[in-house]
Amino acid sequence: MFVFPLNEDVDAFPLKVAGETLHLLADKLCYWEDRNALILADLHLGKGTDFQKAGIPLPDEDTPHDLARLSRWIDHFQASQVIIVGDLFHGLSAATDWVLPGLTTWRATQGEVRLTLVPGNHDRVAKAVAEELGLELTAEVVTMGPLSFSHYEPAGEADPFTISGHLHPAVRIKEDGGPGMTLPAFIFNDHRLVLPAFGSFTGSAKVLPHPQDRVFALVEGGLLEINPKLCR
Amino acid sequence: MERDPLRKRLHAWFQTQGWTPFPFQEETWDHYLSGRSGLIHAPTGLGKTYAAWGGPLLQWMEQGRECNDSRGSKGDCLATPRNGRGAEPIRVLWITPLRALAADTVFSLQQVVEDLGLPWTVGLRTGDTSSSVKQRQRKRMPSALVTTPESLSLLLSYPDWRRMFKTVECVVVDEWHELMGTKRGVQTELALTRLRAFRGDKLRIWGLSATLGNLGVAMDCLLGKQHDGVMVRGVYNKKINIETLIPEEMDNFPWSGHLGIRLLPQVIACIEKAGTTLVFTNTRSQTEVWFQAILAERPDWAGLIAAHHGSIEKEIRDAVERDLDSGKIKAVVCTSSLDLGVDFTPVDQVIQIGSPKGIARLMQRAGRSGHQPGATSQIVGVPTNALELIEFAAARDAMKRGAIEAREPIRRPLDVLVQHIVSCALGGGFDDTALYEEVRRSFAYADLTREEWNWAMDFNRQGGKVLRAYPEYSRIRMSEADHYVLDDRNLAQRHRLSIGTITSDSEVLVRLQGGRALGSVEESFISRLRPGDTFNFAGRKLELIRLRSMTATVKVAKRHKGVVPSWQGGRSPLSTELAEAVRLKLEQGIERADPDPEMEAAKEILRIQNRWSQLPHSDYFLVEHTRVRNGTHICIFTFAGRLVNEGLAALAAFRLSQTVTISLRLTPNDYGFSLMTNKPFEIEVTQLREMMKSADLLDDLMACMNTAELAKRQFREIARVAGLVMQGYPGRQKTNRQLQTSSSLLFEVFERYDPENLLLTQAKREILERQLELTRLRKVIQHLEQLPLVLVKTERLTPLAFPLWADQIGHNITSESRTDRIQAMLAKLEQTAEEAD
């Protein structure tokens, strides 16, 4: 089940899709080996600050924390591209003086990498900051090689194979009478892969996988495949 | 009395109702007229309302006489005003904890002023009041306003509240025992403190309370740090007669469970005999089960019996209450939704299904029958398992001894304070030091330190230490030296929407397809159903059609294999006093010459307990170790009440898991707790002593709380009260989607980035002090330490252990890694799934 550790504390699991090799990483993102690209969804950058702006006093260290995580993976693979399948930003504060300087500073440290955003429903500031952050904005659905990318899960049997986010998927397993556990997960089948939310201030939403899905849940820095029939 | 012709008018009014004022009512009026505040305690429905209402009326008439004497035209003053114009400006604020009660109260108060022809108006203001009425009230308050703690706090958040309340001279807090010991009570304390600071000596505060074990403290909470309040004792001559239905066959009477309907035939016979009956249950699901069962047995009673609980839409509930009142229906199956109520018509008989849970509660419920003073209240106990038989006998004893439950007040909850500060900033602003001093005059915040105050101020001003960089993102701002205001319209609106301290799971409206709303259920329940699934609700069998935007559309189900909704908080614990009374009862032994009928019936089961193990006793500390089919079951009997046992279970499991690699399932109940593991496991007395030692208590509790995630659960309420999360409303689409988040996620965010946040500390403290009752827990564990420990290894689960085994609902604690645990769980689930195929 645990295939090869990329470093000491994070698991990965390889999938063959349309002739391409994807590695699901237990830090809630995916590595596309053939293109040397990282694929991730739902960072919701600036969320803490969005709450503060509304007068709700929350810490806002989520954004620097998540950018640091992303940097670590870019460095690890020496990745040439980062594809974000939507909701890179949370609200409007990403374009403000409170968040944007941090983002540009971070971008400067990752000057080489291509940053591609398939826009999601939250990315209202994307256009405004795209140039400053060297962000390539795509259409709502975009195809690269044999794979397709979209924020939203495709309906029915997608062709080509589609990678999406948006759902912040998590599965719930429960013993009779027990309290049960909800675990963020990758949801995979022959037609699509739904990524868990990468952002650390995002939460998750319970999904009921189809019986033919494969479910890779995230537990303590590890990936654990779970029979979809056991999720409820 | 001669001196007072005005009082004669009040007496005359009582006579028209066929009553004579009780001495305690006269006493209250005298105290009121001499300017005192106080607390009136008496069982339900015995004249507390008029005791409190008479004072302000007499006072007004006295002043009116003076004014008339000087003007010489008595007629003008006493003319009934039209449309409230010319009516007396506001004099009385009447706070009631239940919206459902408010309308009844208005009616009672109104009746007196109308009959006496006083130019007073009585108004109602709750969350249900229409906005046009609210607008009118804000311009001109009625002479007496009946309202809830939330609506009062809301009024105090308007900048012109001082104008609205400038003539208030009396606040009555109804059902104070319901509010005390809750955050709503603290919210009320803060509102009262505001009003007291504004009106000074001119304000009198009167609380109405049912019987409590600590009435003195109840009065301190109500009247604040320094007071000269008087305690008025109401009429107590009502006799309560508890009779328990005894199962004919004890052989197969269950040892545990609470949904059993074995005594259904006897219950039906009881209902048959009496004119009107209230059937009280402990949970909403029990209400649904019993209602369906009675109807299945007696289809001819369709329309003659009804179900009633808090989740049922108000209109339907009102109709039920009216029909019972007019004698159209014979019986109502209900939960605590009918526990309260000023003028609910007395019924002939009250039936209590399942455990009485508490002594005061049983008395309160019994009080629903035989309302006339001097009449005997009749309550029929219906045990659903063998232990409940003993509980009824124990409750009867405790009632005789007068061992009534106390309500522990809450101290210094910072979430309520954070909310209050924002409300005050909104309500015309405040000076830092002045408000600090004002808040400290309340009982709840008497010990508030300047540091805690400063933290709460900083949190509102700049989010505590974390926000220091962005001063403009603040809830409240300093407008001039030391003076704080809130002037952002959006923030103001959002704050007003979230005033209050009641936290509930998001509620989903249940609506018949193309028809009316039936009530609401918790989202966590309904989200587990799929379209086509059926469930029992509001006395009907329903089929879910769809669930969309917080509304569940349903139709009446044809076929039926329904799920009974289980609501959160449905399983209330036994009071500590009752748990103690049960232990005393067991200690009296089973071979008494004159046993209660309940004890006689339970005798055989207690004999089994004695034969297989021992009966619990205050001279020793009993632990049972049982090998069961799927593992080992260790039962530790403390008789400390469920809350304390919850803490002790977590503590014992944590300590054991420090020395042994083991996964344990914890189940607390009122009598003790069990630790269950799915492996053979031998426990030694030395290990048990180590698990139940008083040394390192606090450290170990704190450590194991993180494991048990108790604090995270508690944080839900705190986050809501402190205005960090917005609550959803039934039938209303969630607004502000960008700002939706869950409290558990917030808890993680704070733990990670702001671990010093005092709201986190509060969550931990609340768990310790309120949920686990640390003070009591410490006493219990120190006491048990002194006792000889008797470890009995039994072959079979004993009658006392069985409920713990059957009831495994607690959490798990483990020293195995999460991954191992999940893998074990998955393996087991796989196996079950295969067996099912």
Cα B210 to Cα B661: distance, rounded to the nearest angstrom: 50
Provide the pLDDT for residue B564: 52
The closest CB to that of A230, out of B494, B738, B830, belongs to B830
Q: How far is CA A143 from the centre of its chain?
A: 18
**Nearest chain A residue (CA) to B808:** A177
Chain A residues 165-224 with CB within 8 Å of chain B: 173, 175, 177-179, 181, 183, 200-203, 217, 219-220, 222, 224
**Nearest chain A residue (CA) to B466:** A59
What residues of chain A lie within 8 A of the CB of B811, using their CB?
Answer: 179
Chain B residues 104-133 with CB within 8 Å of chain A: none
Provide the pLDDT for residue B53: 95
Q: Give A169-210 pLDDT, tens digit per residue.
A: 999 887 654 556 789 999 999 999 999 999 988 888 889 899
Which alpha helices (DSSP H) does B692-739 contain, by range?
697-708, 710-721
Provide the pLDDT for residue B510: 84
Q: Where are the domains of chain A?
A: 12-230
Probe site for chain B from A65, A173, A175 (most B CB atoms < 10 A): A175
Q: Give A50-105 pLDDT, tens digit per residue.
A: 888 877 888 888 899 999 999 999 999 999 999 999 999 999 989 988 899 999 99
The closest CB to that of B811, out of A179, A219, A224, belongs to A179
Give the position of tokens 């209109």: B315
Contact B498, B727 (CB under 8 A): yes
CA distance B371 to chain A (A): 43
The closest CB to that of B473, out of A53, A203, A222, belongs to A53
Provide the pLDDT for residue B186: 97
Cα B812 to Cα B825: distance, rounded to the nearest angstrom: 12
* A61–B738 C-beta distance less than 8 A: no
pLDDT confidence bin for B634, thresholds 50/70/90 = very high
Cα A2 to Cα B281: distance, rounded to the nearest angstrom: 52
What residues of chain A lie within 8 A of the CB of B473, using their CB?
Answer: 49, 52-53, 55
**Nearest chain B residue (CA) to A179:** B811
Cα B82 to Cα B457: distance, rounded to the nearest angstrom: 47
Is A60 within 8 Å of chain B by CB?
Answer: yes
Is B630 within 8 Å of chain A by CB?
Answer: no
* B466–A55 C-beta distance less than 8 A: no
* B752–A61 C-beta distance less than 8 A: yes
Instruction: Please name the helix (run of DSSP H) or strand (run of DSSP E) that holds residue B48, with its range, or none.
Output: helix B48-71
Torsion of CA B311, B317, B321, B326, to 10 degrees: -150
pLDDT confidence bin for B315, thresholds 50/70/90 = confident
The encoded tokens of residue B549 equal: 């935007």
Best CA proximity match to B379, nearest among B277, B294, B291: B277
Instruction: Please name the helix (run of DSSP H) or strand (run of DSSP E) that holds residue B231, with its range, or none.
Output: strand B230-233
Long-range contacts of B294-303 (CB under 8 A, 24+ apart): B294/B264, B294/B267, B294/B268, B294/B331, B294/B333, B295/B539, B297/B264, B297/B265, B297/B268, B298/B268, B301/B330, B301/B331, B303/B329
What residues of chain A lie within 8 A of the CB of B494, using their CB?
Answer: 54-55
Same-fold call for B5-233 versus B239-401: yes
Provide the pLDDT for residue B569: 38
- Name the residue with higher pLDDT: B117 or B815: B117
Chain B residues 443-502 with CB within 8 Å of chain A: 459-460, 462-464, 466-467, 469-470, 473-475, 488, 490-491, 494
Is B533 within 8 Å of chain A by CB?
Answer: no
* A91–B822 C-beta distance less than 8 A: no
* A55–B488 C-beta distance less than 8 A: yes
Give me the DSSP letters along B557-577: -SS--PBPP--TT-SPPPPHH
CA distance B196 to chain A (A): 30
**Considering only A85-89, A204-208, B154-158, B515-519, which range has the smallest mean pLDDT?**
B515-519
Provide the pLDDT for residue B342: 41
The encoded tokens of residue A127 equal: 């256009």
Provide the pLDDT for residue A62: 87
Strands A141-144 and A147-150: antiparallel
Nearest 5°: phi and psi at B464? Answer: 70, -155
* A57–B833 C-beta distance less than 8 A: no
Q: Name the packing angle between helices B758-766 and B743-753 (round to 10°).
A: 120
pTM of the prediction?
0.77
Is A56 within 8 Å of chain B by CB?
Answer: yes
Probe site for chain B from A1, A10, A44, A58 (most B CB atoms < 10 A): A58
Identity of the amino acid at B541:
K
The closest CB to that of B819, out of A59, A202, A222, belongs to A222
pLDDT at B84 over 60: no
Cα B278 to Cα B767: distance, rounded to the nearest angstrom: 36
Torsion of CA B252, B281, B574, B221, to 10 degrees: -170
Interface predicted TM-score (ipTM) of this complex, two decimals: 0.76
What residues of chain B lie within 8 A of the CB of A91, using their CB?
Answer: 738
Give Dmax over CA atoms of chain B in angstroms: 94
Best CA proximity match to A173, nearest among B568, B531, B522, B833: B833
CA distance A79 to chain B (A): 28
Provide the pLDDT for residue B768: 77
pLDDT at B78 over 50: no
CA distance B643 to chain A (A): 18
CA distances to A232, B318, B827 from B832, rounded to whole Å, are 14, 47, 9
Q: How many CB atoms lie within 10 A of CB B339?
A: 19
Q: B239-401 maps to which CATH number?
A: 3.40.50.300
Sign of the CA dihedral with B143 first, then B145, B151, and B156 last: positive
Domain at B5-233, CATH from 3.30.499.10, 3.40.50.300, 3.40.718.10, 3.30.565.10? 3.40.50.300
Contact B96, B58 (CB under 8 A): no
Is A97 within 8 Å of chain B by CB?
Answer: no
Cα B588 to Cα B394: distance, rounded to the nearest angstrom: 11
Provide the pLDDT for residue B346: 73
In B305-375, the DSSP E strands lie at 305-308, 331-334, 349-353
Cα Rg for chain A, rounded, in angstroms? 17
Q: Give B132-151 pLDDT, tens digit per residue.
A: 999 999 999 999 999 999 99
The closest CB to that of B817, out of A57, A220, A229, belongs to A220
Percent of chain B with pLDDT over 70: 81
**Considering only A174-188, B308-322, B592-606, which range has the smallest mean pLDDT?**
B308-322
The encoded tokens of residue B251 equal: 């052989």
pLDDT at B570 over 80: no
CA distance B546 to chain A (A): 16
Cα B649 to Cα B660: distance, rounded to the nearest angstrom: 16
Count CB pairs under 8 A between chains A and B.
Answer: 110
Q: Give B378's strand partners.
A: B241
* Fold held by A12-230: Purple Acid Phosphatase; chain A, domain 2 (3.60.21)
CA distances to A13, A130, B706 from A79, rounded to whole Å, are 18, 20, 38
Cα A115 to Cα A124: distance, rounded to the nearest angstrom: 17
* B833–A59 C-beta distance less than 8 A: no
- Name the residue with higher pLDDT: B216 or B463: B216
pLDDT at B736 over 70: no
Is B808 within 8 Å of chain A by CB?
Answer: yes
Identity of the amino acid at B464:
G
- Name the residue with higher pLDDT: B709 or B163: B163
Q: Give B106-132 pLDDT, tens digit per residue.
A: 998 999 999 988 899 999 998 888 889
Q: Where are the domains of chain B?
A: 5-233, 239-401, 416-497, 507-556, 613-710+769-825
Cα B22 to Cα B723: distance, rounded to the nearest angstrom: 46
* A175–B749 C-beta distance less than 8 A: no
pLDDT at B631 over 60: yes
Q: Give B93-108 pLDDT, tens digit per residue.
A: 999 987 767 888 899 8
**Considering only A173-177, B6-10, B413-417, B609-613, which range has the smallest mean pLDDT?**
A173-177
pLDDT confidence bin for B269, thresholds 50/70/90 = very high
Provide the pLDDT for residue B481: 86
Contact A76, A31 (CB under 8 A): no
Instruction: Average the pLDDT over B390-403 and give the result.
Output: 90
* A62–B749 C-beta distance less than 8 A: yes
* B466–A224 C-beta distance less than 8 A: no
Best CA proximity match to A194, nearest among A177, A212, A215: A215
Chain B residues 344-383 with CB within 8 Å of chain A: none
Cα A226 to Cα B728: distance, rounded to the nearest angstrom: 33
Provide the pLDDT for residue B79: 44
Provide the pLDDT for residue B809: 47
CA distances to B290, B292, B532, B563, B631 from B560, rounded to whole Å, are 16, 12, 11, 9, 36
- Name the residue with higher pLDDT: B751 or B156: B156
Give Dmax over CA atoms of chain A in angstroms: 54
- Average pLDDT of chain B? 82
Provide the pLDDT for residue B66: 43
pLDDT at B254 over 60: yes
Is A10 within 8 Å of chain B by CB?
Answer: no
Long-range contacts of B737-743 (CB under 8 A, 24+ apart): B738/A50, B738/A54, B738/A90, B738/A91, B739/A50, B739/A51, B739/A54, B739/A56, B741/A51, B741/A201, B741/A203, B742/A203, B743/B712, B743/B715, B743/B716, B743/B718, B743/B719
What residues of chain A lie within 8 A of the CB of B819, using their CB?
Answer: 219-220, 222, 224
The encoded tokens of residue A159 equal: 């062709």
SS (H, E, C) B384-451: CCHHHHHHHHHHHHHHHHCCCCCCCCCCCCHHHHHHHHHHHHHCCCEEHHHHHHHHHCCCCCCCCCHH
**Edge to edge, what strands does the sheet with B663-668 contain?**
B789-794, B621-628, B631-637, B672-677, B663-668, B812-814
CA distance A62 to chain B (A): 8
CA distances to B277, B407, B427, B511, B734 from B745, rounded to whole Å, are 47, 32, 31, 31, 18
Q: Peptide bond before A160: cis, by omega within 30 degrees of 0?
A: yes
Cα B441 to Cα B190: distance, rounded to the nearest angstrom: 9
Is A53 within 8 Å of chain B by CB?
Answer: yes
Best CA proximity match to B266, nearest among B285, B293, B306, B302: B293
What residues of chain A lie within 8 A of the CB of B823, using their CB?
Answer: 224
Q: How many CB atoms lie within 10 A of CB A19?
A: 10
pLDDT at B86 over 60: yes
| Most confident stretch, A36-40, B21-25, B299-303, B793-797 | A36-40
Contact B145, B90 (CB under 8 A): yes
The closest CB to that of A175, out of B464, B494, B828, belongs to B828
At residue B352, the 3 state secondary structure works out as strand
CA distance A181 to chain B (A): 9
Best CA proximity match to B724, nearest among A199, A204, A52, A63: A52
Is A66 within 8 Å of chain B by CB?
Answer: no
What residues of chain A lie within 8 A of the CB of B746, using their CB?
Answer: 58
* B742–A55 C-beta distance less than 8 A: no
Best CA proximity match to B37, nearest among B150, B157, B203: B203
CA distance A34 to chain B (A): 31
